[in-house]
Amino acid sequence: MLSYLRVTFAAALLLTASMRAQDAGVIESRLIGHPLYLRGMWDDNQLEFNGDGTLHGKSAITSLTTSGLDVDSVTAQGKTKLLIRAHRVYIHWEADGRLVRTPMKIENRVFNEFGHQVDRFVNRYEMKILLLSDASGSFDEALHAAFADGLPDMTASVPKFWACWARGYFVEHPDLGTARETVDACIQEKSLARALRHTPDGPDFEPPRLLGDLRLPAPAVGRSLRATGSDEIAFIVSTHGIAVGFQIRRPFGLGIDEAVIQALAEAKFAPATIRGEPVVADMNYVADIGALARALNQ
């Protein structure tokens, strides 16, 4: 009888372990091979989420275009924890609006140790994500709250300046021509200058202009890439020469869009005028990313 109980207990342990492995395998199949994004756009590569999907601890925020990830493995840790190993991907848009997801690569970094330069390979983009289950033992709520499965699922989580682009392009199989028209119509809809009828429709209108050079902060990803192309941002210039109401008209990706917006927000502008009087006006800024990237690397 004792021997029978031992065998039964051992079988129960094996069954429990098998079920846990199966659950991890099922979750792994839901994650691996999917174009995932961190809904919170967290910058840290070691993250922990509670059973309801809230972040445990703190993390800085990264850009939308550096918050993508590809999952490599999912491992059960007891009954209440899942360890997800992943790596970040960066996102870049081609000129026609097509999306490219590219894994971030290991960097060769030079460290100064005791007066000597030492080369080391550093992968800043490997991720370890720990998920806790809810009270019922399910990981579903945490998974849904932590990860978006593709950009259409990410639409509700993006910052306001991505809203028009998301309306046009964050849909399943977007028609690229129609998507661009949707973005432009959305930007016009949000334009305070158009609502006030401050539009360049007469000889007495003088458009706003940038004063001085744009001071671009070094984006963490763009600095290390040989970036080429352009970035187009629509915004409003107030009567005091302040840029507000940003919307991305054509993104570049790699975290550079947010860096350009930050630089524009800190820049000074001469406001638009009608018959010499300052007025609110729309402005469109096209950044040469190649030139900006070269300046960052100098």
Amino acid sitting at position 291: A
Cβ 191 vs Cβ 223: under 8 Å: no
Lowest mean pLDDT among 13-27, 65-79, 98-112, 259-273: 13-27
More confidently predicted of 225 and 137: 137
Q: In 3D, which of 151, 145, 149 has the Cα closest to residue 36?
A: 149
pTM (2 decimals)? 0.79
Compute the average pLDDT of residues 5-31.
Answer: 54
**Confidence check: pLDDT of 20 > 90:** no
Compute the average pLDDT of residues 198-211.
Answer: 82
Compute the average pLDDT of residues 199-223.
Answer: 74
**Confidence check: pLDDT of 105 > 80:** no
Q: Which residues contact 1 (CB under 8 A, 6 or more apart)?
A: none
The whole-chain average pLDDT of the chain stands at 82
Q: What are the residues facing 75 on neighbouring strands?
A: 83
**Confidence check: pLDDT of 221 > 50:** no
| Lookup: tokens for 221 | 């990803």
Q: How far apart are CA 64 and CA 31, in angstroms?
A: 19
Residue 165 exposed, middle or buried by CB count within 10 Å (0-12, 13-18, 19+)? buried
**3-state per-residue secondary structure call for the chain:** CHHHHHHHHHHHHHHHHHHHHHHHHHHHHHHCCCCEEECCCECCCEEEECCCCCECCCCCECCHHHCEEEEEEEEEECCCEEEEEEEEEEEEECCCCCEEEEECCCEEEEEEECCEEEEEEECCCEEEEEEECCCCCCCHHHHHHHEEECHHHHHHHCCHHHHHHHHHHCCCCCCHHHHHHHHHHHHHHCCHHHHCCCCCCCCCEECCEEECCCCCCCCCCHHHCCCCCEEEEEEEECCCCCEEEEEEEECCECCHHHHHHHHHHHCEEECEEECCEEECEEEEEEEEHHHHHHHHHC
Compute the average pLDDT of residues 97-121.
Answer: 63
pLDDT band at residue 6 using 50, 70 and 90 as cut-offs: very low
Distance of alpha carbon 62 from its chain centroid, rounded? Answer: 6
Lowest mean pLDDT among 99-103, 206-210, 218-222: 218-222
pLDDT at res. 50: 96
Q: What are the residues facing 10 on neighbouring strands?
A: none
Cβ 224 vs Cβ 242: under 8 Å: no
**Confidence check: pLDDT of 21 > 50:** no
**Confidence check: pLDDT of 296 > 60:** no
pLDDT band at residue 17 using 50, 70 and 90 as cut-offs: very low
